[in-house]
Structure 1
Amino acid sequence: MTEMKQLPIRFPADVKAWLADQARLNGSSQNSEVIRAVRERMERQEATSV
């Protein structure tokens, strides 16, 4: 398993509500939804950098 680092983060209310909805719809945690969204962004950036 990869090493995990904590990152305190504050979200605007609308983003927090969207995360909560996505987590509920996907049966996951809000933390997992943030990681998924960031990884998707990383993959898009890597795809355009090649």
Structure 2
Amino acid sequence: MGGRPPRVGGGLSFPDSRTVIVHVLVETATHAGHLEAVRELLDSRQYVVL
């Protein structure tokens, strides 16, 4: 193990596993929010989580 961090298209680099996991979680949450907005537009229902 070790060596240089992996390179991703667009010039991004992830120095460690923690950074990769956080990046994946942020991207997943962003896309889930987009899907929720589309669902609300389609069925006119809004769910409130308390």
Q: TM-score, normalised by structure 1?
A: 0.47
Give the number of the structure with larger relative contact order, counting CA–CA contacts within 8 Å between residues 6 or more apart: 1
| Structure showing the higher helix proportion among its residues | 1
Q: TM-score, normalised by structure 2?
A: 0.47
Whichever structure has more strand as a proportion of its residues is 2
